[in-house]
Amino acid sequence: MKKVAVLYDEENNLEQIALLKKADTIARFNFYGYSIKSKSENTAIDLNKRDICIVLIGESTRFLANHFLLDLQTVINSALPILCLNINEFIGLDEANCPRILWDCGAIHMPFNKENLIYLLQEVKYQDRNENSKGSFHLRQHPRPFDLE
């Protein structure tokens, strides 16, 4: 069972968090909520014994408090694979909503839905980000007819 850290906007992503909690996946989630206003008692993100980090990307994600950006920097400095799941179902890097710090760190950007979540949790390996530590990526789940030989 994979252990996953999930970073999200605690004011606007509650519906998606409820879906993650109900999802029947091969993962155990630890949730880290952030808000636009800075809190005085922020706890540091615990990346020990985590296999993957998921960041939920929504309209307000880029406006979250400085503590969110510091925790993102901690995740980027680690070797964990980073999955950016776009709530607006955007395929690939959503430049309008994604914080710039995640644009070129080897993160995988995919639409947020249960099918993609299960696929990513099965396919993404711990060492994947070490091989592709720069740029932004998305995975093609189903090969298209012109891709087949």
User: 34 in a domain, yes or no?
Assistant: yes
Domain count within the chain: 1
User: 38 in a domain, yes or no?
Assistant: yes
User: 146 in a domain, yes or no?
Assistant: no
Beta bridge partners of 53: 5, 82
User: 130 in a domain, yes or no?
Assistant: yes
Report the CATH number at residue 76.
3.40.50
How far apart are alpha carbons 45 and 125 in whole angstroms? 21
Share of the chain above pLDDT 70, in %: 81
User: 147 in a domain, yes or no?
Assistant: no
User: 148 in a domain, yes or no?
Assistant: no
**How confident is the model over 37-48, as pLDDT tens digits?**
876 555 678 888
How far apart are alpha carbons 97 and 17 in whole angstroms? 18
pLDDT at 115: 87
Quote the distance between the C-alpha of residue 55 and its chain's center: 3
User: 86 in a domain, yes or no?
Assistant: yes
Does this model's pTM top 0.75?
yes
Half-sphere exposure of residue 44, counting CA atoms within 13 Å on the CB side?
Answer: 6
The structure tokens 């109900």 sit at 22
Structural domain boundaries, residue 80: 2-141
Beta bridge partners of 85: 56, 110
Across 4-18, 19-33, 74-88, least confident range:
19-33
